[in-house]
Amino acid sequence: MNIDISEVANLPSRFGEFKIQTFKEGHKEHLVVFNPPLNDSPIVRIHSECLTGDAIGSLKCDCRDQLEASLVRINKEGGMVIYLRQEGRNIGLLNKVNAYALQDRGFDTVEANHQLGFEADERTYEVVETILEHFGVKKIRLLTNNPQKLQGLKQIKIIERVPIIIEPNQFNKNYLKVKQEQMGHLL
The catalytic site residues sit at 121, 123
The amino acid that residue 115 corresponds to is: Q
The two most distant CA atoms of the chain are separated, in Å, by 48
Vertex 35: Cα angle to 12 and 8 (nearest 5):
70
Contact criterion met (CB below 8 Å) for 20 and 36: no
H/E stretch holding 65 reads helix 63-77
Task: Give the integer Cα–Cα distance in Å for 99 and 85.
Answer: 18
Task: Give the integer Cα–Cα distance in Å for 187 and 133.
Answer: 29
Task: Give the integer Cα–Cα distance in Å for 75 and 77.
Answer: 6
